[in-house]
């Protein structure tokens, strides 16, 4: 017992390292984690006093605990057994597959990352790229929703900037949890997006086990009062029009809703429109090819973001016109009733999005030039004004005083891009650029075509 033992120096150092790691994991790290956890809880408690809809405990739960709760859920357990039988594998193999799906889906929300970093970044980026306008009714719509209800923002999908805009606008009211696609799994975006509370969805997965794990997570989050946002169209609009809704996430929300439960689920239609969509040419090209291969590189995206942030910090004006967000009339699941089908709810929500779609200067100019081929500047401006005057004012984002400036900016921007040309005081579309003009005109087609006053104004003779 008292004999001297000689060890190589490398082995002695290795033993010391193992001892240090053991001491850290069993003695120091739990205390450190407890210390920071307590500080975080106090910070969140103070933050909740400023939010209209406080962050619910479900969203603050540890990611490990949420994964465990999800994979041991009775409904998931039944699907694990069914998966094992169908694929001829042991149940423990199926269980690990469910765990893999849960790890992929469940976010690791960080209130610190969301409110101290994420919100500042989205605010800076949004204001660097666009002049942001909102309808005066947005606050009234949001404030009308009962405090104990789970809010689900249902949005049209025009650009990847949609995430930035809505996150920025909702920051003073609540923290949102997004459903994002495979594009967001690219490092380092995946870490950042999960820390902001987003959860990943495999758009092309048809496996029953995966769908059950995803469905139960969405339902648990909804029951826990987590405010969410998703795009019923499933992907970006390639032609500027509103697309047919997909039923996946909506069906999970409807199936998991308990009319007798403590919480109602209230859907808020959100209409988003732009004077310029950053990805417009990429989307139009994909539409012409008939596929959804965009070919965007993460280096290009990061480079664009850094360039815009630098231009903003150095007070350079390089914004791409106006971006507008409008909230439509909310739809309560309790008021809709138990007999409401997923299809009917989806169609109703998409209809409400179309009804409140913001009419902006660029889409209006594109719509008129496509309808009339060419217009003198005076007549074009009068028709744009008539178009705005004929639209219901409750959900508009541009007032009469600002409209002339907006039209001037729209004409300058479209001319600078080579989409329209002016000859002898007359504006017309450039022949080989009509696809781009139609992309923007399509964004307000549902409102224009559905309003007799607007439609008659557009179809009126150019000299009227």
Are residues 274 and 413 part of one domain?
Answer: no
348 and 436, same domain (yes or no): no
Give the count of domains, the chain.
Answer: 2
How large is the average pLDDT for residues 207-221? 92
The answer to whether residue 426 is domain-embedded is: yes
Q: Would you say 48 and 54 are in contact if contact means Cβ atoms under 8 Å apart?
A: yes
Residue whose C-alpha is closest to residue 378's, from 355, 357, 407: 407
Tell me the percentage of the chain whose pLDDT exceeds 90: 35
Task: Give the tokens for residue 170.
Answer: 């909702």
Residue 247 belongs to domain with CATH number: 3.40.1130.10
- Cβ neighbours of residue 256 under 8 Å, at least 6 residues apart? 215, 218, 219, 222, 223
Residue 407 in any domain: the answer is yes
Is residue 291 in a domain?
Answer: no
Is the domain of 141 the same as that of 177?
A: yes
C-alpha neighbours within 13 Å on the C-beta side of residue 164: 19
Same domain, 259 and 375: no
Say yes or no: 330 and 186 in one domain. Answer: yes
Whole-number pLDDT of residue 259:
82
Same domain for 338 and 210: yes
Domain range for 432 is 361-454
Note whether 332 and 421 are same-domain residues: no
User: CA geometry: angle at 256 spanning 250 and 257, to 5°?
Assistant: 90
- Is the pTM higher than 0.85? no
Cα distances (Å, whole numbers) of residue 44 to 65, 204, 260: 19, 37, 30
Tell me: do 366 and 347 sit in the same domain. no
Is residue 97 domain-resident? yes
CATH of the domain at 387: 1.10.3380.30
Q: Are residues 242 and 390 in the same domain?
A: no
Distance between CA atoms of 128 and 126, rounded to whole angstroms?
Answer: 5
pLDDT digits (tens, 9 = 90+) for 269-311: 999 999 999 888 889 998 998 877 766 555 655 666 677 667 6
Rounded to whole angstroms, the maximal C-alpha distance in the chain is 110
DSSP for 31-72, please give it.
HHHHHHHHHHHHHHHHHHTT-SSPPPHHHHS-HHHHHHHHHT
Helices (H), 256-376: 280-289, 298-313, 333-336, 342-355, 361-372
The pLDDT value given to residue 297 = 58
Angle at 286 between CA 303 and CA 328, to 5 degrees: 80
Take residue 420 and report the two structure tokens written for it: 């329209």
Examine the pLDDT at 393 and tell me if it is beyond 50: yes
Q: Residue 315: inside a domain, yes or no?
A: no
- Read off the pLDDT band of 192 (50, 70, 90): low
**In this structure, are 328 and 384 located in the same domain?**
no
Per-residue pLDDT tens digits for 301-318: 566 667 766 766 777 666
Position 24 in a domain = no
Q: Which residues pair with 271 in a beta bridge?
A: 326
- CA–CA gap between residue 384 and residue 78 (Å, rounded): 59
| pLDDT tens digits for range 23-48 | 655 555 555 555 555 555 565 566 55
* Domain identity same for 338 and 380: no
User: Could you tell me if 90 and 115 lie in one domain?
Assistant: yes
């Amino acid at each position: 017992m008292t004999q001297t033992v000689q060890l190589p120096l490398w082995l002695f150092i290795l033993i010391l390292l193992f001892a240090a790691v053991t001491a850290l994991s069993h003695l120091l790290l739990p205390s450190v984690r407890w210390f920071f956890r307590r500080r975080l809880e106090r910070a969140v408690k103070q933050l909740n006093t400023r939010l209209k809809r406080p962050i619910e405990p479900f969203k603050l739960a540890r990611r490990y605990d949420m994964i465990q709760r999800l994979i041991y859920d009775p409904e998931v357990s039944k699907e694990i057994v069914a998966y094992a039988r169908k694929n001829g594998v042991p149940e423990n193999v199926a269980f690990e597959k469910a765990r893999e799906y849960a790890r992929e889906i469940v976010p690791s929300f960080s209130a610190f990352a969301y409110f101290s970093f994420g919100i500042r970044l989205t605010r800076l980026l949004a204001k660097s790229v666009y002049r942001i306008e909102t309808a005066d009714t947005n606050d009234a719509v949001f404030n009308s929703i009962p405090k104990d209800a789970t809010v689900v923002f249902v949005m049209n999908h025009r650009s990847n900037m949609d995430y930035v805009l809505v996150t920025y606008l909702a920051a003073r009211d609540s923290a949102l949890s997004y459903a994002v696609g495979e594009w967001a799994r690219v490092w380092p975006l995946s870490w950042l997006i999960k820390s902001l509370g987003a959860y990943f969805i495999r758009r092309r997965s048809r496996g029953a086990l995966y769908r059950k794990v995803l469905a139960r997570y969405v339902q648990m989050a909804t029951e826990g009062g987590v405010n969410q946002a998703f795009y019923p169209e499933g992907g970006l609009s390639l032609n500027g029009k509103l697309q047919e809704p997909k039923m996946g996430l909506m069906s999970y929300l409807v199936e998991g809703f308990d009319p007798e439960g403590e919480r109602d689920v209230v859907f808020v239609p959100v209409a988003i429109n732009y004077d310029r969509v950053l990805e417009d040419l990429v989307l139009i090209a994909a539409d012409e090819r008939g596929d959804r291969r965009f070919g965007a590189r993460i280096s290009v995206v990061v480079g664009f973001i850094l360039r815009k942030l630098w231009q903003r910090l150095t007070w350079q004006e390089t914004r791409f016109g106006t971006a507008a967000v409008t909230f439509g009339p909310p739809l309560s699941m309790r008021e809709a009733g138990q007999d409401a089908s997923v299809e009917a709810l989806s169609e109703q929500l998409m209809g409400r999005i179309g009804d409140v779609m913001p009419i902006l200067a660029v889409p209006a100019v594109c719509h008129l030039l496509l309808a009339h081929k060419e217009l003198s500047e005076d007549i074009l401006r009068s028709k744009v004004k008539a178009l705005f005057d004929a639209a219901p004012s409750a959900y508009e984002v541009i007032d009469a005083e600002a409209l002339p400036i907006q039209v001037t900016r729209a004409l300058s921007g479209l001319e600078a891009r080579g989409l329209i040309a002016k000859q002898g005081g007359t504006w017309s579309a450039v022949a080989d650029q009509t696809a781009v003009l139609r992309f923007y005109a399509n964004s307000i087609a549902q409102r224009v075509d559905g309003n007799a006053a607007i439609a008659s104004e557009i179809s009126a003779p150019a000299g009227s």
